[in-house]
Amino acid sequence: MIEIEKVVALIKNGDETGLKTLYTHYNGALYGIVNRILIRQGESEEALQETFLKIWNNIDNYQPVKGTLFTWMATIARNTALDKKRLKSYEHETKTESIVTGENDPSVSANIGNINIPDLIKNIPEKYRILVDKMFLNGYTQQEIADEMSIPLGTVKTRLREAISILRNELKNERHLLYVLSIA
């Protein structure tokens, strides 16, 4: 497991190796987010670069007490992609487009060794997984989800809680393996 505190300290001191470590460990996960929002490869790669530049420039704003470094970086990635999407008027084109995940990407499969991704996720009921996908990966607001799924705002909140609970439970035993893989 990478030592987040050390990496953050390196970046704060202007040492590129800190950012390189973050890039090595998180480029795929953050690219997964921006790519889900922007779809197009060129725009997604631009957004990924911008995301890491923002991390480099704004690392002083990261506060561990408010959450993990990854969720802070994921928020930057999502906002960067959403800003780009708004500016490019992609709104109607891409929200309904099919989702591109790592499942079909051979290079991703290589990164995660023998873990069977569909098996890990398939136990999460569709109605819950869609919610996490839309909010975490696609950057939807609660209101947008409520409107699109025709459910009350309060239901979005409680269903999201259940969804993340199931997800945490399903992935509970994978933590160690994933971390080991992330070192390799």
Partner 1 sequence: MAINIKEYIASGILELYVLNQLSPEEIAEVESLSTQHTEIAQEIHEISLGLEKYGKLMAVTPSPKVEGELFNNLPKRTPNNSPSASANQTNSTPPTKGFSILNYILAAISIGSFLLYLNQTNTIKTSEVTKNREMVACDSILKLQQNQYAFIQKINDRSNQIIKLAATEKYAGIDLYLHANKVTKKNILQMIKAPTLSQNQAFQLWALKDGSAPQPMDVFTSQENFVDIGFVDDVTTYAITIEPAGGSQSPTMANLIGTMTVE
- Contacts to partner 1 from residues 8-27, by CB under 8 A: 11-14, 16, 19-20, 23, 27
Question: Nearer Cβ to partner 1, position 130 or 137?
Answer: 137
What SS3 string covers 96-129?
CCCCCCHHHCHHHHHHCCCCCHHHHHHCCCHHHH
Burial class (CB in 10 A: 0-12, 13-18, 19+), 81: buried
88 binds partner 1 (CB under 8 A): yes
Which of 105, 55, 103 minimizes the C-alpha distance to 79? Answer: 55
Binder among 2, 4, 45, 94 for partner 1 (CB under 8 A): 45
* Interface characters, 66-85, with partner 1 (x: CB under 8 A): xxx-xx--xx--x----x--
* 39 contacts partner 1 (rule: CB under 8 A): no
122 counts as binding partner 1 under rule CB under 8 A:
no
